[in-house]
Structure 1
Amino acid sequence: MLLMNNILQVMADVQSLKDDVRQLHTENVDLRRQLFSGNTRGCSGTSQCTESRTPVAFYAYYSNHFTSLSKGSAFVYDTVETNLGNGYNKTSGIFTAPTSGLYAFTWTLHVAGEDVIKSNSHSQYGEMNAVLTQNGAKKGAIVADTEVKYDTGSATGFVLLETNSGDQFQITTEWDGQGDVYSDDTYGRTTFSGFRVS
């Protein structure tokens, strides 16, 4: 009788182990499906999960040179190469985050003295700053300065920012610039771009 009870107990334990293995296999398949679909947050097809997998990225630049901006002016990049998520507005120069997450932003500024571009700026030097704002708050700044008459200069900024859906980002100036801002295939582009990292 004792031997029979032991055999029945072993059979019950084996069945329990088989059930555990089946459950682990099912969980493993689900986790692999989430991993390979880019869904690592345990989402199961909800709109929030779909939104988090939709890429968000933009890249815009000036198509032409122009005289430096005055204090408080906004950069309005008129040529848009990439606008996944439709967050960048080329009329206002504002990027509005369509979804929350960690975002990377970069902007480049090129300046020149008057003889380089032959404009009406009447300044031998090129000097200007460009500030990235998030909802009006300063998050990063660069300064491009020629230092030498009739020369060119450039600067690039890069930041990572936690962002909420609807946050607005813009490049502005904090003081009056000198000379010209340039943007072409010869001297380089004055640009603004960003993308959601996660």
Structure 2
Amino acid sequence: MFVLLVVCLAISYAFCDISVAQESEISFLKDKFLQMQTIVTKQENRIAYLEETVLRQNTEILNLNVEVSRLRPKIRTLEQSLYSLKNILRRKTSPNPRNMVKCVTKPDIKQDHVPNSVHRREIGKGKRILLQGTPTVNSPIGFYAFLSQNENNPGIHHTIIFDVKMTNVGDGYNSFSGMFTAPKDGLYAFAVSIIMIHEYASYELVKNNAVQGSLFVDAEHSGEWRSSSMTVVLSMFHGDVVFVRTSSSFTPHGSVHSSEDGRSSFAGWLIQ
């Protein structure tokens, strides 16, 4: 009986020892779990903050892109205005060719000893003589230029530079800038023709920084070439500039076509 009691006590002690060990291990695991839960919560908060930051940055980038798109036409307009003002300033500060004259004065010869025929010739020499190369008032002015190749995918507010000058009487057209500068005051006519294939866009004729006319080429659904033209008559002062560009408000879709089979062109001439 005593032996049985000892065995029971031993078994009870062993179970108590195991229970204490299990409780200690459970407590340790519970602490670890709480620590991991804290770490996960911090990481979730960090991820949420980063996601919010990325979303805010994306919104800021989108707003900046919109602002850049809005400012780009204004910058181009200011550049064109500056170019026009430079022309006006150059016109104001440079001498007028019509006033660039030289006087040939007659020699100091006593009239009493000179025959009448010689005297008349000397008086004629004293008249004002225009410098060589100065154009006369009725000099013709006109130009015709076209694109040597396609203008691929121009963006909004893009100047079309017709780079091949076939005619440039009066030297008013610049094939590097695509701009015509009026050599003198007068009434001018301008003609624009644009070709596109399977695409569409709007184009403007601009004097200084003001749109004077527009045309639209619609070849999107035609399955063939399409062209549009316009003719504009403008009153211009010496130094005013005229050029062709894509629309300042309509995004173009596609390229301007120009080849031996059909040329996109720009022309102008002085009416009077």
TM-score, L = length of structure 2: 0.49
Structure 1, residues 94-149: CA drift from partner, whole Å, max 9, x if none?
10000111100000000012xxxxxxxxxxxx111111111110101001111416
Of the structure 1 ranges 50-59 and 99-108, higher mean CA displacement relative to structure 2 is found in 50-59
3-state SS of 2:165 partner: strand
How far has the Cα of 1:179 moved from its partner? 2.2
Q: Partners in 2 of 1:149 and 1:107 — Cα distance?
A: 22
3-state SS of 2:193 partner: strand
How far has the Cα of 1:50 moved from its partner? 5.3
Of the structure 1 ranges 135-144 and 150-159, higher mean CA displacement relative to structure 2 is found in 150-159
3-state SS of 2:137 partner: helix
Q: Partners in 2 of 1:179 and 1:173 — Cα distance?
A: 11
Distance 1:166 1:51, change over 3 A: farther
| In the alignment, structure 1 residue 191 sits paired with structure 2 residue 265 | yes
| In the alignment, structure 1 residue 152 sits paired with structure 2 residue 237 | no
Instruction: Name the structure, 1 or 2, with higher relative contact order (CA <8 Å, separation 6+).
Output: 1
Aligned to 1:42: none
More helix by share: 2
| In the alignment, structure 1 residue 137 sits paired with structure 2 residue 210 | yes
Of the structure 1 ranges 84-93 and 66-75, higher mean CA displacement relative to structure 2 is found in 66-75
| In the alignment, structure 1 residue 99 sits paired with structure 2 residue 173 | no
TM-score, L = length of structure 1: 0.66
How far has the Cα of 1:51 moved from its partner? 3.5
Aligned to 1:68: 153
Structure 1, residues 3-44: CA drift from partner, whole Å, max 9, x if none?
xxxxxxxxxxxxxxxxxxxxxxxxxxxxxxxxxxxxxxxxxx
Q: Partners in 2 of 1:66 and 1:135 — Cα distance?
A: 23
> In the alignment, is the contact (CA less than 8 A) between 1:68 and 1:128 conserved in 2?
no
> In the alignment, is the contact (CA less than 8 A) between 2:197 and 2:220 conserved in 1?
no
Q: Partners in 2 of 1:84 and 1:169 — Cα distance?
A: 16
- Name the aligned partner's letter for residue 112 of structure 1: I
Q: Partners in 2 of 1:193 and 1:56 — Cα distance?
A: 11
Structure 1, residues 63-111: CA drift from partner, whole Å, max 9, x if none?
1123231101000011000001111111110100001111000000000
Aligned to 2:164: 79
3-state SS of 2:136 partner: helix
Unaligned stretches of 5+ in structure 2?
1-128
Aligned to 1:51: 136
More strand by share: 1
